[in-house]
Amino acid sequence: MWLDRFDKNSTVVTGRKQTLRAIRNGQTETVFIAKDAQQELIGEIEAACKAVGIRCQYADSMRQLGAAVGISVGASACAVLSST
């Protein structure tokens, strides 16, 4: 399951702005989007990923994604940064 991607050695950014910045700067290994996030946000992040050839993965909810990255609130999107 994708939740295993978030280990102690992973650097993860959360939220729309930081996720988009990481995608556009070529720092992203994987992008996760919550299925219950606003449709505009989902479309914007999907388009940015498509432009640079990154495949999006989806969490069932913002709550689930927030818990996976270790925050106590929901997260609409997050990016696992490349280790190099």
What pLDDT, on the 0 to 100 scale, is given for residue 1? 40
Kindly tell me if the per-residue pLDDT of 67 is higher than 50.
yes
d(CA 1, CA 12): 17
DSSP state of 71: -
pLDDT digits (tens, 9 = 90+) for 23-34: 999 999 889 999
What pLDDT, on the 0 to 100 scale, is given for residue 73? 92
C-beta of residue 79 within 8 angstroms of C-beta of residue 18: yes
Tokens of 5: 């991607």
